Amino acid sequence: MGSAKLEIRNLTKAYPGVVALDDFSASFEGGKVYALLGKNGSGKSTFVKCLSGAVTPTSGEILIDGQTITFDGPADANAAGIAVVYQELSLILDFTVAENIMLGRFATGGPGNIKIDWKETNTAAAKILKELRIDIPVTRKVSDLSVGQRQVIEIAKAMSLNPRVLLLDEPTSALARHEINSLMEVVRTLKAQGVVVIFITHKLNEIRGIADYVTVLRDSRHVGSVPIDVATPKVIVDMMFGETVLQSRPDDLKVGDKVSLKVSGLTRRDKFEDISFDVRAGEIVGIAGMLGAGRSELLRGIFGADRIDGGSVTINGTEVRKPTIPLMKKLGLAMTMENRKEEGLVQIMSVEDNLSLASLKEISHRGLISHFLQAPVAEKWVKQLHIKVSDPSYEVQSLSGGNQQKVVVGNWLNTDPKVVFFDEPTRGIDIVAKQQIFQIMWDLSRKGLSVVFVSSELEELLEVCHRILIMEAGRLIGEVTSPETTGIEDLYAMCMGEGARQLA
């Protein structure tokens, strides 16, 4: 198989009133990896949908190896040699790896034979995995695999169709660092086979080792493609956003003396053990750690979302041994959840309703919801948090990830909290929206509220927090008291359990 070539000429997709992709032209060479960057709403998803056959372009051409291709649906795109791996996995969890890869084309003895030849099916699947140098037994159930392994199987499934072009839509967003590495290995193997790989991501640092070119979309237009060696962060950010200023923590944030949250000996079997720490008024405390270190579980335990097996939480002087969400809410604790889609929002409800989900009591009188109380609340948070929506009665699912996240935050700020937990608030949102989320945390601190911030992006923790706690395997193993002077490598090493116990 020689090197593939994908050419896009004047691709345009217009919806009534909105041009989602505007006159996009570019060519992509086989054997190269292209990182496709752009903030939320820049037209990336539309580009992917045009190539996957999910939507029909308004005008323009797509050529593979010089042949113009058109398609009516995803099956046609597959036949034409384009495969797309989406962020949300499409594997059947109760099926084995081989069953998933070979689904729809199981080996049988021959035409007309309805009995599946499992030996042949498994062998064929194993061969595909071997070519991609993936070391996962084909008879393993997908439900027994880690998220990273599932992602790899998803790619293998796509590759088993022998595509010339592979689009990966944010494949790493749910992966731990070592899982990302094995995913990158697979991408390298594909590259060597002459496939065009287009890699969509939000994480600038992860494209370093893998991409050859950086292609940027902004405001529905193709801004340009540059070779990776000239694409410094500044170049990329400028291309993505025009001009932006990256802020860091303001100096005027004061940490008070009063302890607003005290956690003592908190334990949940198999999740975290004997966790104790204090958070003071106005303080922003980060929690760092690898995936599975128990950070989210800890926050959920304190908040009352999951049961705890021992220890206590003291919030504004009230000690609680059995936290429940209504109780913690009443005591002034708020928490924005890790998975905003599954846990933070009711997607089919309006922005307005989602903004008052946690404060239905506050917008009602004797059980009756008052529109006169609800409407100003929605208006207030849309304005204060810069939520981009022209009418709060729109369904929240029509908003971009960053704006959805702000709705989650607004919902909780509306409960008038004293302590706010942010669990991975920046996942899958663009740099501008991230900056706005940080700004919200700093504003809270300025008002004397306490913030606990969990993030897998260590840079963010260093940028935002007064102090960073480090968790490993369910225990607090260290603390960074001066994030300003701490390097990311040191923090990373500590999270891996390698660093010193305390870094001054």
Partner 1 sequence: MSTLATRRSNIRVSDFVLELILLVIVVLLGFSAPGFASWDNFMNILRSAATTGVIAFGMTFVIILGEIDLSVGSGVAFFGCLLALITETLGDAGYSLEMAIALGTVACLVVAICAGMFTGWIRHRLAVPTFITTLAWMAAFRGGAYLLTGSFPITPYPDWFFFFGAGFIGGIPFQAVVFLIVFALTWFISKYTVFGKSVYAIGGNAEAARLSGINVAKVRMAVMAMTSVLAVIAGIMVSSQIQAGNPTVGVSWEFTVISACVIGGVSLMGGKGRIWGTFVGVLFLEIILNGMTLLNIDEYWQYVARALLILGAVLIYQLQAVSRITR
- Member of 237, 325, 493, 496 binding partner 1 (CB under 8 A): 325
Q: Taking a C-beta distance cutoff of 8 angstroms, is the pair 160, 128 a contact? A: yes
Residue 409 lies near partner 1 (rule: CB under 8 A): no
Provide the pairing of β-strand 284-288 with 272-280.
unpaired
The one-letter amino acid code at 338 reads E
- Member of 93, 360, 488, 500 binding partner 1 (CB under 8 A): 360
Residue 185 lies near partner 1 (rule: CB under 8 A): no
> What letter does residue 380 receive in the DSSP assignment?
H
Q: Taking a C-beta distance cutoff of 8 angstroms, is the pair 38, 401 a contact? A: no
Measured CA to CA in angstroms, residue 444 lies from 283, 312, 317, 437, 448 at distances of 9, 25, 20, 11, 7
- Member of 57, 289, 344, 417 binding partner 1 (CB under 8 A): 344
> What letter does residue 390 receive in the DSSP assignment?
S
- Member of 87, 312, 364, 439 binding partner 1 (CB under 8 A): 364
- Member of 329, 406, 427, 466 binding partner 1 (CB under 8 A): 329
Q: Which phi and psi (to 5°) does residue 297 adopt?
A: -60, -40
28 vs 303, beta carbon nearer partner 1: 303
> What letter does residue 340 receive in the DSSP assignment?
I
9 vs 388, beta carbon nearer partner 1: 388
CA–CA dist 451, 69 (Å, integer): 52
How many residues bind partner 1 (CB under 8 A)? The answer is: 46
User: Minimal distance in Å, beta carbon 462 to partner 1?
Assistant: 29
- Member of 27, 394, 487, 500 binding partner 1 (CB under 8 A): 394
3 state DSSP class of 392: coil
246 vs 346, beta carbon nearer partner 1: 346
Please compute, for residue 485, the number of CA atoms within 13 A of its CA located in the half-sphere on the CB side: 4
- Member of 206, 273, 353, 424 binding partner 1 (CB under 8 A): 353
Look-up: residue for tokens 């729809």? 104
Which range binds partner 1 by CB under 8 A, 118-126, 268-276, 338-346, 443-451? 338-346
- Member of 105, 130, 361, 447 binding partner 1 (CB under 8 A): 361
> What letter does residue 352 receive in the DSSP assignment?
H
Q: Which phi and psi (to 5°) does residue 165 adopt?
A: -130, 130
Please compute, for residue 449, the number of CA atoms within 13 A of its CA located in the half-sphere on the CB side: 21
- Member of 347, 373, 380, 443 binding partner 1 (CB under 8 A): 347
Which candidate, 401, 400, 396, places its Cα nearest to that of 411?
A: 396
Which range binds partner 1 by CB under 8 A, 134-142, 146-154, 203-211, 398-406? 398-406
125 vs 333, beta carbon nearer partner 1: 333
- Member of 61, 170, 343, 443 binding partner 1 (CB under 8 A): 343
Residue 436 lies near partner 1 (rule: CB under 8 A): no
Residue 349 lies near partner 1 (rule: CB under 8 A): yes
Measured CA to CA in angstroms, residue 468 lies from 202, 204, 277, 452, 504 at distances of 24, 23, 11, 9, 11
Residue 112 lies near partner 1 (rule: CB under 8 A): no
Binding mask 296-315 for partner 1 (x = CB under 8 A): ---------x----------
Residue 88 lies near partner 1 (rule: CB under 8 A): no
CA–CA dist 307, 370 (Å, integer): 34
First CA to last CA across the chain, in angstroms?
Answer: 56
CA angle in degrees (0–180, nearest 5) for 304-491-261: 30
Provide the token pair at 111. 């035409």
Residue 217 lies near partner 1 (rule: CB under 8 A): no
- Member of 368, 383, 501, 504 binding partner 1 (CB under 8 A): 368
Residues 10-49, interacting with partner 1 (CB under 8 A): 15-18, 20, 40-41, 43
Provide the token pair at 438. 């940080």
Provide the token pair at 266. 């908190």
- Member of 285, 399, 451, 476 binding partner 1 (CB under 8 A): 399
The distance between the two most distant Cα atoms of the chain, rounded to a whole number of Å, is 78
Residue 487 lies near partner 1 (rule: CB under 8 A): no
3 vs 364, beta carbon nearer partner 1: 364
Residue 161 lies near partner 1 (rule: CB under 8 A): no
User: Minimal distance in Å, beta carbon 294 to partner 1?
Assistant: 18
Applying CB under 8 A, the residues found at the interface with partner 1 are 15-18, 20, 40-41, 43, 220, 305, 325-326, 329, 335, 337, 342-350, 353, 357-358, 360-361, 364, 367-369, 388-391, 393-395, 397-400, 403, 411
